[in-house]
Copies of this chain bind each other. A is one copy, B any other.
Amino acid sequence: MRTLKLGMVGGGNGAFFGAAHRAAAAMTGRFSLVAGAFSSDAVRARESGNDLGLDPDRCYADFETMAQREASRDGIDLVAVVTPNHLHAPACRAFLSAGINILCDKPLTATLDEAHALQKVAEDSTSLFGVTYTNAGFDMVREARAVVAAGEIGAVRLVRVAFPQEWLATATEATGNKQAEWRTDPARSGAGSLGDIGTHAFHLVEFVTGLTATSLSAEVDTFVAGRRVDDNVTAKLRFGGGAKGLLWASQVAIGETNGLKIDVHGDKGSLGWTVEAANQLTFAPLGGRRMVIDRASHGTAFKGLMPPGHPQGFIEALARLYIDMAEQIEARRAGRAAAADALLLPGIGDGVRGLRFVDAALRSGAEDGRWTDI
């Protein structure tokens, strides 16, 4: 098994998510980081690459140059795009042009127009394209999807998802917090809580239920004075087939660090999952008892590499997406079908869905909660 060559755009010193990506890629044993355009600041880009022990020749000051140079025979097999949202589209375009595979952070782009345009380019390219909706990498989220797909909860009636966080409960962006600054700057982020965590929540709903949301009625609020983006969203959802949904995403929910939670109610049973107890799934069959499905359970569809009961964490979940991408790359090169699991890696279509959700929510919110197509 040959190690794949990984490049990174963004994620320089001080950026938090780039380090998580590097740890996740490294722990898979399938990727070696060999190139990067770690920062739009040339000095910082070079220093970051140096600190990571990279060849200075492969530490680039901009992603365009990186894409061109790495397009050669010995270039990178995959680029991870971990910049602020507004740079996703141009960065991805550059690597699509170069025929390089991409793993891009969510939201796919800052705006829906960018997303649609990027999707077209991607569909015309030869690159594989993954989007890091990280929760799709948790074993028990995949198990939840499998339980629904197997009909164990019957036809879905109602799904609820909540993603509360507290870190923007006050005007954090006015305190010099870099993360807060760009994530509340419409020019760089697109939207606020909608894009940052709403897209996670929305993806989780469609990923677990296998349903497609057709329309929504949203209430989009900004509770912190002076903030330029939304920080709290509540929405009702409608799905094809008659299922209904409730979604809440908030970055002003004090006491909640990262309380993503979903529950799905069908006509034969229900299930629930939260990232706060990521190694368990609750399941209740009609006429039976509530039970816990854990990573060790007899009969779970997905089992991690770790022994039963040893908790799977956030970086392991992200690593799972890298493993999926590695499998897709290797399968394509070998001219074989990729393993079914690897196809659970969210793709550009899922990325576009996220922006459609954001756009629909903003429009519905602006029109007093009018039901709006997604």
Contact = CB atoms under 8 A, between A and B. Distances in A.
A5 interface: no
Contacts of A24: 27
Copies in the complex: 4
Contacts of A369: 217, 236, 369, 371
Interface in A227-253: 232, 234, 236, 238, 244, 246, 248, 250, 252-253
A165 B277 CA distance: 19
A258 B308 contact: yes
Nearest to A368: B371
A214 interface: no
Given A23-B27, A160-B248, 18 more contacts: A1-B51, A20-B306, A26-B29, A27-B319, A153-B254, A234-B236, A234-B246, A254-B265, A257-B308, A275-B310, A276-B279, A287-B298, A288-B298, A289-B294, A289-B298, A291-B291, A311-B312, A312-B313
Interface of A: 1-3, 16, 19-20, 22-24, 26-29, 51-53, 153, 157-158, 160, 162, 164-167, 169-170, 217, 219, 221, 223, 232, 234, 236, 238, 244, 246, 248, 250, 252-259, 265-270, 275-279, 282-298, 305-316, 319, 368-369, 371
18 contacts: A19-B305, A157-B221, A157-B223, A157-B232, A160-B248, A169-B286, A217-B217, A217-B219, A217-B236, A217-B369, A234-B236, A275-B310, A276-B309, A278-B311, A289-B297, A291-B291, A311-B313, A313-B316
